[in-house]
Amino acid sequence: MQLDQLKQVSDVEWRIAPFGKMRVPAVIYADQALITEMDDKVFEQITNVATLPGIVQAAYAMPDAHWGYGFPIGGVAAFDADAGGVVSAGGVGFDISCGVRTLHTGLKAEDVAPLKQRLADRLFTHIPAGVGSTGKLRLDAGGMDAMLRGGARWAVEHGYGSEADLDRIEEHGCMAGAEPGQVSEHAKRRQRDEIGTLGSGNHYLELQEIVEIHDTKAADRFRLRQGEVVVSIHCGSRGLGHQIGTEFLRQMVIAAPGYGIDLPDRELACAPIHSPVGQAYLGAMRAAVNCALANRQVITHLTRKVFADLLPGTHLSLIYDVSHNTCKEEWHTVDGQTRRLYVHRKGATRAFGPGHPSLPGELRDIGQPVLIGGSMGTASYILVGTEEGGTRAFSSACHGAGRSMSRHQATRQWHGRALVDELASQGILIRSPSLRGVAEEAPGAYKDVSAVVEAADRAGLARKVAKLKPLVCIKG
């Protein structure tokens, strides 16, 4: 990105003053190296977001921002419904409520080491991953609607996990306001047999070792101990979410002129929150959030079964579950005024600081765990929300490394088999139904996740707590 079009506010904050039809400024959080490498499309997209009706304060881009659809991936924007604010299907994205959850195993890396191969094989067999894979659950019409209303709570009620899990999930595992009636039959058809599946692309299930602790106090509260093994699951709302995204994007593109909205880019398709299309989308999107929460809950159950078979007595407890493609109704203070806003986070993680009422009792005084996924061979991080984050980007942080190279370039540069062997020599076992898929997801095709996390930490968006290194990766 050309730096001369930005005003540098600090070593990790860059500002674009409103020009053209922008209603608010745009702010990018990144260090000089990250912003220099950032695609020019991020500039174009984040300034486009700033033109949308009812946008509040500024349009934000996180340190992992890259070229997305309408919104950049790593984009955050909040809208006030009563000031003509909009909800945007493009601002949430296709994989609604895609997110990460991380579980304690309580096991030490050296205890897991002799069983690594068997764990990798068993997890790969028992957790459906990749194109065309199906779960064991089949939902009829009534079951589908109950799942879309209940989310992870529905899964727990059906024997997948425990009540204690729900405390550690955003919205307590169940997004209010879901309207299964707004979800099309096509979307439900895509989901019939997809509950409990990882999907493909950058989705994964990993065993990871905690290799560094950066913040002892928060690590203690999250019960993170160096040398211990955790499980992280990255996936979303599967076919149902994709279909809802597809259908509402089209509906909003066609409806926008009727609402007097001039779209600078069709992918920014949106509708006023106070409109039939806006309300229908919110009802459907919230149902998709529940679908993603139920999906991660069922996968958690499958993972626990594998551990129970191979390492009897192991208890996998949930540290936290975050969603990074959402639009949520939240209260935020803007210019000293508390306002109810619709916060879009597309490839961005919510990062509530200490004291936030939505946090479970045992985490309330320390802040929300913020889970940042890496790519196959690289590190993941656990951060914690900060108080000052509330004054920056509506308590949001990055979500991962973000691609730096297209899939095409990646397959030209790496071969799946060689990559699997190379990672194995570093002690990282990969299991995937597709070697080309592995090459497309090569760690080198992503930005340096450590640099992204460092920038988020320095910008005060969230604070580093622990670094995780992959041991086993099941790729979709």
Binding site for another protein (CB under 8 A): 39, 41, 66-69, 73, 93-95, 130-134, 186, 189-190, 192, 199-201, 239, 242-243, 245-246, 249-250, 253-254, 265-267, 269, 403-409, 433-437, 440, 476
**Least distance in angstroms from the C-beta of 405 to another protein:** 8
Give the active site residue among 315, 399, 408, 415: 399
Smallest distance, Å, CB 319 to another protein? 27
| Nearest to 320, CA basis, from 370, 361, 374, 383 | 370
Contact 431, 475 (CB under 8 A): yes
Strands 429-431 vs 462-475: parallel, antiparallel or unpaired: parallel
SS3 call for 105: strand
| 399 marked ligand binding residue | yes
91 has binding-site annotation: no
Closest contact distance (angstroms) between CB of 130 and another protein is: 6
- Rg of the Cα atoms in the chain: 21
Q: How far is the CB of 376 from another protein (least distance, A)?
A: 14
Return the exposure string of 104-127: e unless at least 16 CB atoms fall within 10 Å of the residue's CB, then b.
bbbbebeebeeebeebbebbbebb
Q: How many Å from the N-terminal Cα to the C-terminal Cα in the chain?
A: 32
Nearest to 296 by CA among 457, 438, 474, 97: 97
Residue number, 193 or 228, with CB nearest to another protein: 193
Minimum distance from CB of 169 to another protein (Å)? 23
- Cβ closest to another protein, residue 113 vs residue 131: 131
User: Quick one: which of 56, 52, 74, 60 has its CA closest to 268?
Assistant: 52
Helix (H, G, I), strand (E, B) or coil at 389: helix
255 in a labelled binding site: no
Q: Any known ligand binding at 113?
A: no
Residue 44 or 454 with smaller CB distance to another protein = 44
Among the listed residues 275, 288, 207, the one whose alpha carbon sits nearest the alpha carbon of residue 245: 288
Give the residue with the Cβ less far from another protein, 40 or 163: 40
Rounded distance, CA 324 to CA 219, Å?
22
Q: Which is nearer to another protein, 249 or 277 (CB)?
A: 249
359 carries a ligand binding annotation? no
Contact 344, 327 (CB under 8 A): yes
Our answer to whether residue 214 is catalytic in this structure is no
Of 381, 409, 95, residue with least CA distance to 232: 381
Known binding residue 295? Answer is: no
Residue positions forming the annotated binding site for GMP:
202-206, 324-325, 373-376, 380, 399-402, 475
Residues at the binding site are: 95, 202-206, 234, 324-325, 373-376, 380, 399-402, 475
Annotated binding residues for Mn(2+), written as ranges, equal 95, 203, 234, 324
Catalytic residues: 399
